[in-house]
Amino acid sequence: MLFRSRPGEPRPRPRRRPRTGTTGRRGPVRPARLLAVAVALGCAGGLLSPATAAPAAPVAAAREGSDRVRSLVARMTLDEKLSFVHWTAGAEGGPLARGVGYLPGVPRLGVPPLEVSDGPTGIRLNGVRATALPTPTALAATLDDGLAREYGRVLGHEGRALGQDVVLAPMVNIIRVPHGGRNFETFSEDPLVTSRTAAAEIEGIQSQGLMAAVKHLAGNNQETDRFTVDAAIDEQTLHEVELPAFRSAVDAGAAAVMCSYNSLNGAHSCGNESLLQSVLRDQWDFRGWVLSDWLATHATTDLTKGLDQELGLEMGKPTDPVPDSRHLGAALKAAIADGTVPESALDRAVIRIVGRMERFGLLAATAPARPARDAAAGRATARRIAENGAVLLRNTTTAGRPALPLTATAGTGLAVIGDSALRPKVSGLGSAHVVPDAAQAPLDALRERAGTGVTVTHEPGIDRLGGPLPAENLSPVFTGGKQLDAGGDRQFYEGTLTVPADGDYRIGMQVDGGMAVLQVGDRSPVYAADSFSDTTSVLMRLTRGTHRVTMSGWAWPDRPLKVDLAWVTPQRAAADFDRAVAAAAAADTAVVFAQDEGSEGYDRPSLSLPDGQDRLIAAVAKANPNTVVVLNTGSSVLMPWLDDTAAVLQMWYPGQEGAQATAALLYGDANPGGKLTQTFPAAEDAHPMAGHPERFPGVNGEQEYNEGVHTGHRWYEQQGVRPLFAFGHGLSYTSFGYRDLAVERTATGAAVRVTVRNTGDRTGKEAVQVYLGPGTRADVPQPVRKLAGYTKVTLAPGQEKRVTVPVDARQLQYWDRDRDTWQQAAGARTLQVGSSSADIRLTGRLEP
């Protein structure tokens, strides 16, 4: 059994901590250095110290890999074999990893080097621009496997073109905690949506010859204490909720699986034999390799428990020129020498890795040619997914006229409010951040689309960067646009900041060419790294007088680091706010852009929009009833102002083409068809985690998944709690009618047929959703209602189609924890078809 709780200690809450896999001028030391900075600032959370190595049983490498691969590995020296099981940042004098890691291969045996990069929303390479795709939450909201395949193809093609062989994507952990910092990086609270989207994306990635590493197995559903927390998940919940997407990724042929930082039922994931051997290999027949999350290893013996490779570089002494791997480098060599780890475990891991290389054609005499980058194709896909993943949450009609789409009437005045109207919110923060080729400001896209007859004004309302911090307020003077030489990490400024009066000051920083950390007194540090974040700022309460300031950072090898400091004084903030409300009052329509900051490394402290944006939206909506809110958030947010608005469009973090997509949707050139794949709670105390600290953030280092199989929308249904917006919700500029439901059992499960008609006057897309009630076994927990199938259909005005939604046999089963297997749920089941989980149009029965 996997279920076992582990006593633990409360850990400090990790603060925002950008992390990187980067390279240095002289060598591959950047990730460790960034970690060093984070550790020095007390921000790295509690990385576990190595567990005591236990003697390991011999590992049989029999039957893994082809004869050719086995014979290649047999001809490798011990050091050559060791070079496969930990990523480095580059061979001395050889190519440097621009992404997350580099493996040298064995050229003398025709085994080429490998490079790996993040990540889920585009190829992230330090200092290299790439297509920034919309966030995976946006992709999932399309409920369209074809688009997921297309998204994957862009990642695959671009990764290959940019010199990569493996991409650390997709992330398929369930959105369990509404506050989850990485929710934007994953797909849904629903296992079926996550499974289908993951499989299609992986097919797309791998169709281009790039290997996909699905992550993070398993239970990595929160950022709080992510390095140490133990996820206690019962077997049924594990198999029915968290694991299905991993299983689906394995079935889709994922080359690699990344194990997570957290522990699962008492054993850390990367040394968890039940998970990595019994489930992944024995039950699912996984043939690829398992790599750890960044330094998520705990012992050399992890290699005997199902782990094959370590990702990450261990920081040695600050003076060490090149960091080592933590457990699977020199430490593993010693463990093999003293017999703690059998060499056969190493052989098995290398066979698995080289085996995938063989399968991807990388051992062929002529390796697959790398394509040229196709930025235009990337752009087109980014645009298509931003448009299709947008969710129209609300659209009121006044005097017979809907608020959206906007009509381009000459003379109409549009007040565009919000910082992200000018500084586009493209990606979330952390390892999934992608530096886009280019990203237009939504304001400019709206101006272009509105045309010359329309007056378009802009006010930030809340400026998230502000104006340049006056040179004379810093002593010694720090001039904006400071150029630093490339080189090692170091403190490059120490001085004092003079503040004229007590108040809340926003201190901001923009960097290009590297990473910097700004520390004012003992306030939260301001981090900025061009590969991990856009502009960054922190609102801090400062008293009149002087405050100690330090700045440190480093540059990418190829260019100097440029740092610009900015601030917003309390007086300026108040004036910005008032001007925005006045501009809204004077316009015919106000379009407010709001954003949040989903990030790896920390969970959102609340579900409210940050930085006082709720107050701004409320004031604007009071000033102008024609207020349209555009949300650039990675996950659900509360909307206390909702009733006062005319429309709300959820754009997520829409990628580099977000501005154009937003303008097209607002003006009706594109018709929204996205659906929520996560429930939006109505209040901070009305979601599955509320009032349950043992669920989130956990108690004494352990989080209990005691909501069981009732995750996400299933919980709202079970508890009778009304959400703000239900799972599956999403409006369109047209409308759809449903009739003639027919349900029948098939050899592969069930087929649900329904006729859908476009009853409006625009072409639109509808995601037809099928929900299933429980079977008759009362002693097995079953969701009150689960999503069992969905199909997307495009209909012209007046057109109708007979749509078939297949329901897979697995959806009719439950996980039997006594027998460790799937069982058919007995009895007839209620079956509902609808446009959302809260908009059921037809109800039928699935007979036994």
CB of 308 to ligand BGC, least distance (A): 16
Whose Cβ is closer to ligand BGC: residue 38's or residue 648's? 38
CB of 340 to ligand BGC, least distance (A): 27
Nearest in space to 305 (alpha carbons), one of 249, 259, 261? 259
CB of 518 to ligand BGC, least distance (A): 22
CB of 532 to ligand BGC, least distance (A): 9
CB of 292 to ligand BGC, least distance (A): 10
The binding track of 198-217 with respect to ligand BGC, each residue x by CB under 6 A or -, is -----------------x--
Whose Cβ is closer to ligand BGC: residue 19's or residue 268's? 19
Among 165, 225, 293, 596, binds ligand BGC (CB under 6 A): 293
Whose Cβ is closer to ligand BGC: residue 217's or residue 332's? 217
Torsion of CA 724, 729, 730, 736, to 10 degrees: -130
Is residue 765 within 8 Å of 793, Cβ to Cβ? yes
Orientation of helix 375-389 relative to helix 658-666, angle to 10°: 40
List the structure tokens of 167: 């991409």
Euclidean distance between CA atoms 662 and 666, whole angstroms: 6
Q: What is the DSSP letter of 734?
A: S
List the structure tokens of 563: 């740092």
Q: Which amino acid is at 116?
A: V
Total number of residues shown for the chain? 848
CB of 260 to ligand BGC, least distance (A): 8
List the structure tokens of 485: 């030489």
Whose Cβ is closer to ligand BGC: residue 173's or residue 679's? 173
Tell me: does residue 168 bind ligand BGC (CB under 6 A): yes
Whose Cβ is closer to ligand BGC: residue 527's or residue 577's? 527
CB of 212 to ligand BGC, least distance (A): 12
Among 184, 294, 493, 738, binds ligand BGC (CB under 6 A): 294
Nearest in space to 731 (alpha carbons), one of 805, 650, 626, 785? 650
CB of 173 to ligand BGC, least distance (A): 10
Whose Cβ is closer to ligand BGC: residue 119's or residue 424's? 119
CB of 12 to ligand BGC, least distance (A): 17
Among 297, 431, 536, 632, binds ligand BGC (CB under 6 A): 431
Exposed/middle/buried for residue 74 (C-beta within 10 Å: 0-12, 13-18, 19+): exposed
Rule CB under 6 A: which of 3-22 touch ligand BGC?
Answer: 19, 21
Whose Cβ is closer to ligand BGC: residue 118's or residue 145's? 118
CB of 293 to ligand BGC, least distance (A): 5
Among 118, 302, 702, 766, binds ligand BGC (CB under 6 A): 118
Tell me: does residue 119 bind ligand BGC (CB under 6 A): yes
Euclidean distance between CA atoms 265 and 4, whole angstroms: 5
Euclidean distance between CA atoms 304 and 297, whole angstroms: 12
The binding track of 73-102 with respect to ligand BGC, each residue x by CB under 6 A or -, is ---------------------------x--
Task: Tell me how many degrees the CA angle 835-840-842 measures, rounded to the nearest 5.
Answer: 105
Phi, psi of 435, deg, nearest 5:
-85, 115
The binding track of 214-233 with respect to ligand BGC, each residue x by CB under 6 A or -, is -x------------------
Tell me: does residue 674 bind ligand BGC (CB under 6 A): no
Q: Which residues contact 521 (CB under 8 A, 6 or more apart)?
A: 542, 547, 548
Q: Which amino acid is at 232?
A: A
Instruction: Residue 34: count other Cβ atoms within 10 Å of its Cβ.
Output: 26
564, containing H or E segment? strand 561-568
Rule CB under 6 A: which of 567-626 touch ligand BGC?
Answer: none
Is residue 354 within 8 Å of 308, Cβ to Cβ? no
Binding residues vs ligand BGC (CB under 6 A): 19, 21, 100, 118-119, 168, 215, 293-294, 431
